[in-house]
Amino acid sequence: MEKKEARVKCSGCGASYKVKVPVTDKPVSFKCKKCGKVLKLRIKPTAPVESGSEAPASVATPKMPYLENTQLPDAGPYQDLPGRVKEQRSSVVEHLLLDHPADAPVSQTEKGRSWIVLANDVIKGPLTEQEVVKMIETGEVTADTSLRLGERPWIKASEIPDFRSFFPGRHPAAKAGTPVSMLWLEKEGLGATEGDSPTGAPFYEELPALISYPFAGGKALSLIIFVAVAFLLATLLSLDFLLGLPLNLLGWVLLYGYLASLMRVSSESPHSPPPAWDFSHVKDLASSGLNVLVLLAVISLIPVGIGLILMIFFFLNSMPMFGYAFFALTILIYLGSLFVLPCSLAVLGATGKIKSALSLSTMVGMMKNGGRPYFMLAVVSMVTGLACMSAAVVGVFLVDLADVGFMISGLVMALVLSYGQFIWFHVLGRFAAENPRLVKQVA
């Protein structure tokens, strides 16, 4: 029986062997001495190549044909690399399980089975992306589990763009400032491509630079309009509380509608400047702003308001101990609400649904799986919230200044509230852009 000397590459461990393979219609079994994986191979006689046509790359060295085990499917188009998949040529090696007519239809599910998992020294696959996600959710695949796409090099699950959001805070880019998709491309040797995301360092590594965000692009008109409206509302509230309160509710519905559009723009284009005001869509601003205001009221304003009322009640009734106790409790409630608010606002921005944003399971899921990115987002939220609260307290005392006290009070509150919330909602959009799978998962 004729035999041909060739090299065989084990798909399990990558070991390479020089063996003599019989030329026969029946498959030949070969056991890897390193990992014990059994490979079934056979040589398929190659058809003569017509003159003038390009010879297949697989028959370029007939004296020593390289038998590449095809138990793994050819890599399909990888989502992070549009337009970079090369046309596949027929191989001279045919695996027993793939012995079917060349033009036989292949289902979309089978085409998507390109992922190989190496867990606990056992290779599983090929698998679809959805099957890998289920293994991550059940804990079978961890952040350090090795995966590969087709015949590409092994890489940790936490470093793969398709799965990294399931392991927040674990990917190298969190410290290196390099997007994970770029790390993947560098390991593949393919460089950067248009459309990779995220397109920069995580937002919490650029916090100092975000201080100038309201003036991004050299235009401060959007901030000036926001401050002007907030100043008018704060001044009215200082002059007459009963009249100013309902006017403030209506005004802040529009202001939060603008902030919602700012968050959306930041999630779609993280490095874009604040969007321009569009008063031709007042209804849309009012609708989205009302949703944001309801969210803030339910999670923060109402619980904090109840705490303040009880505090005032005890102070007025000569029970200072209880008054101080409820003052401390109110501060804790406020800080707790600021820690929870970001996940609800992120989900509201992604879905536009109040019910989903107020879901307890949504909040718990975001805080549990958000890792360092969510913790840093919550820190920004609490710092911004405390600054706004401090401005409101200072404004109350400034009202008593002679003559123009109410105007100074309104200006202080307008500047701090406007500037702080511009940055806060921009960071919310950046978080959504950098963690799309996490937001989508909990939503």
Give the 3-state secondary structure of residue 54.
coil
Whether the upstream peptide bond of residue 126 has omega within 30° of 0, thus cis, is yes
Say whether both 176 and 215 belong to one domain. Answer: no
End-to-end CA distance of the chain: 63
In angstroms, the Cα distances linking 69 to 6, 11, 42, 96 are: 12, 6, 10, 11
Q: Are 354 and 348 in contact (CB under 8 A)?
A: yes
- Please tell me the predicted confidence (pLDDT) of residue 205: 84
In a domain, 201, yes or no: no
Strand order from edge to edge, sheet including 3-9 = 16-22, 3-9, 66-68
Say whether both 138 and 54 belong to one domain. Answer: no
Say whether both 287 and 422 belong to one domain. Answer: yes
Say whether both 218 and 99 belong to one domain. Answer: no
Say whether both 94 and 132 belong to one domain. Answer: no
> Assign residue 131 a region: left if phi > 0, alpha if psi is -120 to 50, beta otherwise?
alpha
Say whether both 283 and 394 belong to one domain. Answer: yes
Comparing C-alpha atoms, which of 350, 232, 216 is closest to residue 275?
A: 216
In a domain, 221, yes or no: yes
* Tally: H helices and E strands in the chain: 15, 9
- Please tell me the predicted confidence (pLDDT) of residue 119: 78
Q: Whose structure tokens read 């916090």?
A: 207
In a domain, 133, yes or no: yes
In a domain, 51, yes or no: yes
- Please tell me the predicted confidence (pLDDT) of residue 258: 94
- Please tell me the predicted confidence (pLDDT) of residue 98: 39
Residue 86 is classified by DSSP as P
Rounded Cα distance, 296 and 305, in Å: 12
Task: Tell me the longest C-alpha to C-alpha distance in the chain.
Answer: 109
How many Cα neighbours within 13 Å face the side chain of 362? 21
In a domain, 199, yes or no: no
Say whether both 180 and 256 belong to one domain. Answer: no
In a domain, 43, yes or no: yes
Rounded Cα distance, 441 and 165, in Å: 10
Residue 139: which domain range? Answer: 106-188
Rounded Cα distance, 239 and 242, in Å: 9
Last residue of a domain, one of 188, 222, 253: 188
Last residue of a domain, one of 90, 105, 120: 105
Render 98-135 in DSSP notation, one character per residue.
G-S-TT----HHHHT--EEEEETTEEEEEE-HHHHHHH
The total domain count for the chain is 3
- Please tell me the predicted confidence (pLDDT) of residue 309: 93
- Please tell me the predicted confidence (pLDDT) of residue 292: 93
Rounded Cα distance, 319 and 312, in Å: 10
Q: Are 327 and 335 in contact (CB under 8 A)?
A: no
- Please tell me the predicted confidence (pLDDT) of residue 169: 52
In a domain, 193, yes or no: no
Render 222-269 in DSSP notation, one character per residue.
HHHHHHHHHHHHHHHHHH-HHHHHHHHHHHHHHHHHHHHHHHHHHHHS
What is the CATH number for 142? 3.30.1490
- Please tell me the predicted confidence (pLDDT) of residue 252: 92
Say whether both 115 and 22 belong to one domain. Answer: no
Say whether both 129 and 99 belong to one domain. Answer: no
Render 375-429 in DSSP notation, one character per residue.
HHHHHHHHHHHHHHHHHHHHHHHHTTSTTTHHHHHHHHHHHHHHHHHHHHHHHHH
Say whether both 224 and 327 belong to one domain. Answer: yes
In angstroms, the Cα distances linking 131 to 116, 158, 180, 274 are: 11, 16, 22, 40
Say whether both 5 and 21 belong to one domain. Answer: yes
Say whether both 61 and 130 belong to one domain. Answer: no
Write out the chain's pLDDT in tens, 443 residues: 567 777 777 776 777 777 776 776 667 777 777 776 777 766 655 545 444 444 444 444 444 443 434 333 333 333 343 333 343 443 433 333 334 444 444 454 555 677 888 877 678 878 888 888 888 888 888 888 888 887 677 788 877 767 777 776 554 443 433 333 333 333 333 333 333 344 457 888 888 888 888 888 777 889 999 999 999 988 887 778 788 888 988 999 999 999 999 999 888 888 788 988 988 888 888 999 999 999 999 999 999 999 999 999 999 998 999 999 999 999 999 999 999 999 899 888 888 888 888 888 888 888 888 888 899 999 999 999 999 888 888 888 887 777 788 788 888 888 999 999 999 999 999 998 888 888 877 66
In a domain, 293, yes or no: yes
In angstroms, the Cα distances linking 339 to 184, 380, 390, 435, 443 are: 33, 9, 17, 18, 18
* pTM exceeding the 0.85 threshold for the entire prediction: no
Residue 26 is classified by DSSP as S
Whether the upstream peptide bond of residue 198 has omega within 30° of 0, thus cis, is yes
Rounded Cα distance, 393 and 352, in Å: 32
Q: What are the structure tokens assigned to 175, written together?
A: 């410290």
One-letter amino acid for residue 254 of the chain? L
- Please tell me the predicted confidence (pLDDT) of residue 112: 64
